Structure 1
Amino acid sequence: METGGAETPAFGQTEINWDKLDKTKFYVVGAGLFTGITVALYPVSVLKTRLQVATKDVAERTAFSAARSILKADGIPGLYRGFGTVITGLIPARIIFLTALETTKVAAFQVVEPLKISEPSKAAIANGIAGMIGSTCAQAVFVPVDVVSQKLMVQGYSGYATYSGGVDVVRKVVKSDGIRGLYRGFGLSVVTYSPSSAVWWASYGSSQRLFLSLLGYGSDCQESPSLGEIVGIQAAGGVVAGATASCITTPLDTIKTRLQVQVTGQDKRENTRQVIKKLMAEEGWKGLYRGLGPRFFSMSAWGTSMILGYEYLKRLCVKE
């Protein structure tokens, strides 16, 4: 990986160093590429959010019933509520994340390289550290986008307020709660997404090394995997990473979502403890895993699509 050439030939062929990339091309092409992936997977995020905020007496208990309800009421546009806000905010957030991820990964690999541990373990530690720091940096942009988009996703549903668009949400939130209203759930978002990102990238990095070893491309192998093998390994690593991260972090994501979509200006807002207590009272521990199916699918599908797109982007943007 990014160790300035310290990797063995087999492992080195699967990664492209940050200093070898044309940064301008990387950011411009990357913005378009990730926008396309977001368009494809955004409806799953809407379904996840609807399930997470559903009250006990709501009939929508599965992703399929929620999808039917949305399509019946609003058609295809209903599955893209808040998309404009998300795509506008995700571009700078993604740039911040990828820059922090790659630069931190270089430093992290240099630190763990002398350690006498396996390649998968080194990759897990370095990728995990980089994923956590990258996500923490990106939250400054992502949280306000998340707050606005989730309010748009659930507007008019089960008593939630209706807005004319993202700007209207921002105006009403700032008027009611000030700028801090746009950062509602910020602490929980950092606690949710930073560990989630750490788990995701650690799982991806270690599983990638493990799959390479299983295919015979260990540290003592002088042969390099083919492009097809590399793509297959990266796709499998994305599935493993998404599955692992979704199972571990869904309870925190459910609580965060409920905090962020509470009605603006409401006198008595629930805090984190009250949200947990209410979920436990309604459904027990399984209440904390509402939306696990869509989140599991979203993180696995997004992870696989994102990592394949990301690795392709890096190959595309290598300096001549």
Structure 2
Amino acid sequence: MEASSSQSRSFGQTEINWDKLDKTKFYVVGAGLFTGVTVALYPVSVVKTRLQVASSDVAERNVSSVIRGLLKTDGIAGLYRGFGTVITGAIPARIIFLTALETTKVAAFKMVEPFKLSEPTQAAIANGIAGMTASLFSQAVFVPIDVISQRLMVQGYSGHTSYNGGLDVARKVLKSDGIRGLYRGFGLSVMTYSPSSAVWWASYGASQRFIWKHLGHGTEHEVYAPSQGTIVFVQAAGGIFAGATASCITTPLDTIKTRLQVMGHGKNTTRQVVKGLIKDDGWKGLYRGLGPRFFSMSAWGTSMILVYEYLKRLCSKDE
């Protein structure tokens, strides 16, 4: 039980477990907070998606030109194409994700305790398992939302169809491809988001403990509890590191998945998409949108984890 007591000593004041949360308050307040984060960072997703699906003959193939084109044609609203659809689906998907994440994390920590691993390794394994499991559960809701929102993001761009809102997309997809159309790219989504989530949460858990160790917290020499500012700094640093790591590893899969989901009608297989990307841009074609995705995952990750940790503190039960 050495690992367990060490973990308790190190992180009892910086982490709040699932059983210590007011669940109702957690879900209600969380919906509002995460909606705010989505509003702030959604334009990055729009730009990334457009870059990933651009054909070789499109002039707007870098971040600045895509933004200028959107602002010229639609104004600020152009940066929020598909936003309504995302917000509608994000709330149930987020509830499923966070519930699975927290409950699985507790079970995973208990599972790895007997192996007497170091705290960073123990945290990486437990958080990685929890992140992957949570992503798997939430994909059933997230993938149809992803398909619809991405088509709205790229409508009229590079020859893509225009729609009259999310319901129009859903109707046309169901008419042409049936329910399978809404789950187009589901396998790749699982292959992209589940490893990405596992890498993100594993990197976050391990980096936090690594930083705490080097700051002298959680050791037998610790005298003072960390300040709130120090806790936020460590969480933000962990979020940046986790986002950078996950984006570099999973961008090729995300690019392929996005192109599959927006091209539709069964005309393209994974193999054909890969061949087309390589033909247009060489192997670097698989990393289209890496800059926005790198920024997106780092910004999303850091913002999300700070909001998430704040939410847990806000919703912790009084002892």
TM category (shorter chain) comes to over 0.9
Question: 1:4·1:17 contact (CA, 8 Å) conserved in 2?
Answer: no
Shift of 1:148: 0.2
Shift of 1:294: 0.5
Residues 1:272 and 2:270 are matched in the alignment: yes
Calculate the TM-score normalised by the size of structure 1: 0.96
Q: 2: CA distance between counterparts of 1:14 and 1:319?
A: 15
Corresponding residue for residue 238 of structure 2: 237
Q: 1: CA distance between counterparts of 2:220 and 2:141?
A: 43
Shift of 1:9: 2.2
Corresponding residue for residue 287 of structure 1: 285
Shift of 1:218: 3.7
Corresponding residue for residue 257 of structure 1: 258
Corresponding residue for residue 7 of structure 2: 7
Deviations 1:29-83 (A, max 9, x none): 0000000000000000000000000111212221111101111111100000000
| Corresponding letter in the other structure for 2:143 | V
Map 1:163-174 to 2 at 5 A: 163-174=163-174
Shift of 1:281: 1.1
More displaced, 64-73 or 40-49? 64-73
Q: 1: CA distance between counterparts of 2:31 and 2:281?
A: 40
Corresponding residue for residue 127 of structure 1: 127
Map 1:165-184 to 2 at 5 A: 165-184=165-184
| Corresponding letter in the other structure for 1:74 | D
Shift of 1:116: 2.2
CA spacing shift, 1:219–1:113, aligned 2, 3 Å = farther
Q: 1: CA distance between counterparts of 2:167 and 2:6?
A: 49
Question: 1:212·1:218 contact (CA, 8 Å) conserved in 2?
Answer: yes
Q: 2: CA distance between counterparts of 1:5 and 1:149?
A: 46
Question: 2:6·2:218 contact (CA, 8 Å) conserved in 1?
Answer: no
Q: 2: CA distance between counterparts of 1:108 and 1:60?
A: 46
Question: 1:10·1:225 contact (CA, 8 Å) conserved in 2?
Answer: no
Map 1:1-320 to 2 at 5 A: 7-223=7-223, 224-263=225-264, 266=265, 269-320=267-318
Secondary structure (helix, strand or coil) at the match of 1:250 reads helix
Q: 2: CA distance between counterparts of 1:317 and 1:142?
A: 26
Q: 2: CA distance between counterparts of 1:35 and 1:262?
A: 28
More displaced, 140-149 or 155-164? 155-164
Q: State the number of aligned residues.
A: 315
Unaligned runs of 5+ in 1: none
Shift of 1:5: 7.3
Calculate the TM-score normalised by the size of structure 2: 0.96
Shift of 1:276: 0.4
Q: 2: CA distance between counterparts of 1:100 and 1:5?
A: 25
Q: 1: CA distance between counterparts of 2:259 and 2:189?
A: 12
More displaced, 50-59 or 8-17? 8-17
Deviations 1:184-224 (A, max 9, x none): 00000000000000000000000000000110114434442
| Corresponding letter in the other structure for 1:261 | V
Q: 2: CA distance between counterparts of 1:104 and 1:116?
A: 19
Q: 2: CA distance between counterparts of 1:255 and 1:220?
A: 49
Shift of 1:7: 2.7
Secondary structure (helix, strand or coil) at the match of 2:7 reads coil
Question: 2:216·2:222 contact (CA, 8 Å) conserved in 1?
Answer: no
Q: 2: CA distance between counterparts of 1:5 and 1:78?
A: 52
Deviations 1:237-277 (A, max 9, x none): 000000000000000000000000014xx4x6110011001
| Corresponding letter in the other structure for 1:210 | F
More displaced, 309-318 or 10-19? 10-19
Q: 2: CA distance between counterparts of 1:119 and 1:59?
A: 50
| Corresponding letter in the other structure for 2:273 | V
| Corresponding letter in the other structure for 1:165 | G
Question: 1:9·1:222 contact (CA, 8 Å) conserved in 2?
Answer: no
| Corresponding letter in the other structure for 1:308 | L
Shift of 1:158: 1.3
Unaligned runs of 5+ in 2: none
| Corresponding letter in the other structure for 1:64 | S
Q: 2: CA distance between counterparts of 1:286 and 1:91?
A: 35
| Corresponding letter in the other structure for 1:257 | T
Deviations 1:61-117 (A, max 9, x none): 211111011111111000000000000000000000000000000000011122222
| Corresponding letter in the other structure for 2:226 | P
